[in-house]
Amino acid sequence: MPRIYARDGHQYKLALIDEAVQIQNGASQLVEKDEMLDLWQQLRRNGFASEVLTPTGLEGRVQYLLPLVAELPYVRRVKVGRTYNDITGHRSDGLQFLPRANGTELTAPRTATVVESDRTDPQVKLPI
């Protein structure tokens, strides 16, 4: 059973038990298969998952599951925040889903540039 360290430094273990993930961190908690599926679907749908952006019911346990999901080759660890202050100050650990097209290697994401228009709101122009 692998030992994993939470971001606060304490150690815990994960085990697969009857189609559920067992979190052992002093007390034992189970994450059912359907709850893991909810986390995976949210990651695929939104492109991100974090302690802040998590399926209902996993709020207290998602911090233990993110390192497990981060081991997938098409998922990477990121720091996320809801505001600019969050990004520059306190940030939350999260994951980003990086889909592959036709089995090719992962490429750097395209960058977006903000351009001013005749309207009062800026538009995003993506390079093609």
Answer yes or no: is pLDDT of 118 > 50.
no
Which residues make beta-bridge pairs with 96? 48, 76
**Of 13, 12, 10, 9, nearest in space to 1 by CA:** 13
What mean pLDDT do residues 61-78 have?
Answer: 88
How many domains does the chain contain in total?
Answer: 1
Instruction: Give the tokens for residue 56.
Output: 């209902």
pTM above 0.85, yes or no: no
For the ranges 69-83, 85-99, 109-123, which has the lowest average pLDDT? 109-123
pLDDT tens-digit readout, 7-27: 666 788 888 888 899 988 878
Domain ranges, residue 84: 3-100
pLDDT at 39: 93
Q: Is 125 part of a structural domain of the chain? A: no
Mean pLDDT of 44-62: 86
- pLDDT at 110 exceeding the cut of 70: no
Structure confidence at residue 91 (pLDDT): 62
Distance separating alpha carbons of residues 124 and 69, to the nearest angstrom = 31
| Position 41 pLDDT exceeds 90 | yes
Domain-located, residue 108: no
Residue 128 lies in a domain: no
- Measured CA angle at 27 (ends 22, 28), to 5 deg: 20
User: Is residue 20, in this structure, part of any structural domain at all?
Assistant: yes
Q: Check if the beta carbon of residue 94 is closer than 8 Å to that of residue 78.
A: yes
Within 53-92, residue ranges assigned H as helices are 62-69, 84-88
